[in-house]
Amino acid sequence: MPDRAKIRAVILISGSGTTMENLLERAADGSCHMECVGVISSKEGVAGIARAQKFGVPVQVVARKDYLDAQAFSRQVFKMVNAVQPDVVLLAGFLSYLHLPERYKGKVLNIHPSLLPKFGGKGMYGIKVHTAVLKAGEKQSGCSVHYVDEEYDHGPIILQRKVSVEPNDTPETLMARVMEAEREAYPEAVNLYAEKRLLQVAQSVRILPVKPAKAGASS
């Protein structure tokens, strides 16, 4: 049986916070092995702030508009992150570019609503992604959980979940189906991270098998 120890996570948001809320719900029912020790929003007054407060999670706002460039903004974000010493940082609908300090490389995860590397990059988020998928005539879409690096939606992919594109899909119906896949994929990736089963080799990620239980251990 894998180690069920919870990891400490900070979640970064920019909007409604539904992805964050799913993670917090899964953490509360024990199916996602993390403890959220803080939420940081890049925008003031968004719905995600109230959603985090509902769970009793401390929230900080680092408004991107208050900083001249991404470097100054990123320094303030990670100053807040450092204050609570998390094991992992989870981007959940976070739309601002981040410069990663060296110590956080390999410790920041993101989920994107497409099968990367398709339909990723700057400006590709939310309904825009699903509109582009339909316009391109894709037969499949889905979501990708990946490590964050210095490029938008570019880091090594941890896992993906596929959904079929239906002939009568609209961007909204496709988005709803992809979001259902996201609700399963992100907690699963967090659990793999918590269980130390992710091995990054160059630009790829291997999922390591569950370690066998020690002889004589109860099941």
The length of the chain in residues reads 219
H-run or E-run covering 159: strand 157-164
Shortest CA distance to 175 belongs to which of 136, 139, 141? Answer: 141
Q: Which helix (H) or strand (E) holds 143?
A: strand 140-147
Question: Left if phi > 0, otherwise alpha if psi is -120 to 50, otherwise beta: which for 177?
Answer: alpha
φ/ψ of 104, rounded to 5, equals -105, 0
- In whole angstroms, what is the distance from residue 173 CA to residue 179 CA? 10
Whole-number Å distance between alpha carbons of 93 and 113: 10
Q: Choosing from 112, 130, 146, 154, which is the catalytic residue? A: 112
Q: Is 112 a catalytic residue?
A: yes
* Residue among 9, 3, 48 at smallest CA distance from 26: 9
Q: Give CA 42 to chain center in angstroms.
A: 15
What's the Cα-to-Cα distance from 7 to each of 20, 33, 87, 88, 130, rounded to whole Å?
16, 7, 6, 7, 32
If DSSP codes are grouped into helix, strand and coil, which group holds residue 37? strand
Residues forming the active site: 112
